[in-house]
A and B are shown apart, each in its own frame.
Chain A
Amino acid sequence: MSTFIQILSGFAVVFQPLNFLMTLLGFVIGLFFAIIPGLTATVAIVLLMPMTYSMTMNMGLCMVMGIYMAGMYSGSITAITINIPGAPSSSMTGKDGYPLMQQGLGAKAIGQSAFASLIGGTVGVLLLILVSPIAVKAALLVKTPGKASLVIFAFVSICALDGKAWKKSMLFVIFGMIFSTIGMGILNPTSRFTFGTVSLMEGVDFISVVIGAFAISEVMLQSDLSNREYEEMSARVKDIKIKRRDFIPTKADLKEVGWLTYLKSSIIGFFIGVLPGGGGSLASFVSYAEGKRSSKHPEKYGNGALQGVAAADSANNSVCGGALVPMLAFGIPGDGVTAVVLGVLMVYGIVPGPDIMTRQLQLVSPMYAALLVSALILIPLSLMLFGPYYIKIVQINRIVLYSAIALIAVTGAYAATSSVFQMLTSVIVGVMVYFMRKEKYPPVTLILGAMLGPLFEQYFRRSLSISGNNYAIFLQPDSLAFLVLTLVFVLLLTRVQKKGVTAK
């Protein structure tokens, strides 16, 4: 059976009533989980895994793909409306989405986010179907030193993006990395910074850091506002008349963002997804950085640029397609969600390997189709059905809203880890980030450090181990390419920022 026919048969499977219902159900569950801070698509899939045992393979995989795509998209909703990303991959969306919300353009930001997610998700799946064999070869070219350099590129670019505050951003990256060093060693089974304490042996969970950095610190920052200030903000939102059509991006919006931004961000997202360990957060960071670098108005980024929202969301949804490539071809998950998806595949006895993308395509083609269907129903389902209610969040009684968020957040740390210690960690991180955010330390970089720190350490030390501590290993073509890219990026950004200052 040709590849094309096998893919088409996947669509036929997805459109069978029960399978389609499961895709929809998964999408709604993913949407719900990603909106609630502390709960992510990963947690949703983990908790729903036992349910998939009683389903057919196609039903289970369709539901999981629905959760995955919705989880990537809907984390942006709370990032835009209340500046608390529902999922780590939506951190960058909040950078511009929340300022847009504050300007009374929340509907536009949510609409743009959904549209970009639709484009990204669709492009990601099409690329997965069309160029996955080539992508597999390209990913194979990036060896361990190259991956270490890619992480350096992510660190440097995101800090450089903060302009004058780059030192604060870098310090937060360092703290994120420090969190990731607590517990068991990366390469050797020895404990680090545990002081003989059993609780510290389990390390600092990434979810705890995210909840502390975004949810708890945000709730506390909101406590600084008096009711009067909040009522003024609510009044501004109250005045906005929201119709479903307000979510649909206008021609002017699409022109402002530019088709190239959607396409470029989707391609960046896909290829970062292909790189093992890349994931949605890195994709949105890099895509946002590239969007700002190539933008005619980089000064708008961080202050409510639609292009920023589009760049971040196109990329993180495109990751869904890309991340499946290493997972299916090598059994290496592209991110946390695909790691759990891999577990679901194992339940059905699917063993990942190069064959699965060629000779056994019929086993996984319903996954491709479900992912594409999920991307294509994002706008009609989430936007047209629930869209008008998202923006209402800020009109809810702030005391009730933030008390509920505080309880959900701190409970979420426990729900994701089953550990009281991780709950405590999230509160401690929340206290720290609360004070640092008052001095304009960007919490996104803390998350970047915590997430990519272990990967960097692993790749960096492995590279040194392979080369016998010869640092020249980082001058290999793949690694050198990322290092040069980092340098070019910093130089270009510095030039752009200088131009901006001169222009002012």
Chain B
Amino acid sequence: MNLRRFLHRSVLIPLVCMVFLIGYLGVGLSMGPLILPSGLTNENFIPVIISIIGILLCISIMKDSLKEMDDEEPVKEAEPKFGLKQIILFADFFLFIGLYSLVGFIPAAFVFTLIFMVFFDDKVRGLLKKLIISIIITAVVYILYAVVFGVRFN
């Protein structure tokens, strides 16, 4: 059995989901009986049922994906990459949330937008232009939410 096939995204995603669902089922079962002594359903009733259905679905999706791999000739698709660019952009979202809690909206939004603009582009270029646009975007979004819509930021 070639275990590397399990590293293919089409198998890996349902596998990760299944691991999560098993954990979720475990927590659900630890919450007590599904039916309370009063005869009413407990709060873990639906979670347990949906997690079992979910696990079965994950197994089935994995089976289908493995079968597809067996049936089809390996085709090198020009599928979109997940590289450093995406890692940085995702990290930027988390950085924004962290900075927002620490230093407030305006500096956090400015740093977030600048990083996003720099790395969303294919190449690192036009930094001054991006810096100015980041300031404008931050100002517009701040005015939109804080002034026009009355959202209170930290």
Contacts and interface: CB of A to CB of B under 8 A. Distances in A.
A385 interface: no
Contacts of A226: 122
B117 interface: yes
B66 interface: no
Interface in B65-108: 79-82, 85-86, 89-90, 93-94, 96-97, 100-101, 105
Contacts of A438: 9, 79-80, 82
A485 interface: no
Contacts of A227: 121-122
B31 interface: yes
Interface residues of A, number: 61
Contacts of B39: 468-469
Contact of B53 (A174, A434, A441): A174
Main secondary structure of the interface of A (DSSP, over half): helix
Given A224-B86, A414-B151, A418-B152, A406 B116 contact: yes
Interface in B129-154: 130, 133-134, 137-138, 140-141, 144-145, 149-153
A192 B50 contact: no
A76 B108 CA distance: 31
Contacts, number: 160
A354 interface: no
B49 to A, nearest CB: 9
Contacts of B82: 224, 435, 438
Contacts of A398: 120
A186 interface: yes
B121 A399 contact: yes
A402 B138 CA distance: 13
Contacts of B58: 171
A238 interface: no
B13 A174 contact: no
B29 interface: no
B130 to A, nearest CB: 8
A403 B117 contact: yes
Given A223-B86, A400-B117, A170 B57 contact: yes
Interface of B: 9-10, 13-14, 17, 21, 24, 27-28, 31, 35, 39-41, 43-47, 50-51, 53-54, 57-58, 60-61, 64, 79-82, 85-86, 89-90, 93-94, 96-97, 100-101, 105, 109, 112-113, 116-117, 120-122, 130, 133-134, 137-138, 140-141, 144-145, 149-153
29 contacts: A167-B57, A171-B17, A174-B53, A174-B54, A220-B86, A220-B89, A223-B85, A224-B86, A400-B133, A402-B120, A406-B113, A407-B112, A411-B105, A411-B151, A415-B149, A420-B101, A424-B94, A424-B97, A427-B90, A436-B13, A438-B79, A438-B80, A438-B82, A439-B9, A439-B10, A441-B13, A457-B46, A461-B40, A469-B35
9 interchain residue pairs of minimum CB distance: A224-B80, A185-B43, A174-B54, A427-B93, A415-B151, A403-B116, A457-B46, A403-B117, A171-B57
Interface of A: 39, 43, 47, 167-168, 170-171, 174-175, 177-178, 181, 185-188, 190, 192-193, 216, 220-221, 223-227, 398-400, 402-404, 406-408, 410-411, 414-415, 418, 420, 423-424, 427, 430-431, 434-436, 438-439, 441, 456-457, 460-461, 464-465, 468-469
Given A224-B80, A415-B151, A427-B93, 14 more contacts: A168-B61, A170-B53, A174-B50, A178-B24, A178-B50, A224-B81, A400-B137, A406-B116, A414-B151, A415-B149, A420-B97, A431-B90, A438-B79, A465-B40
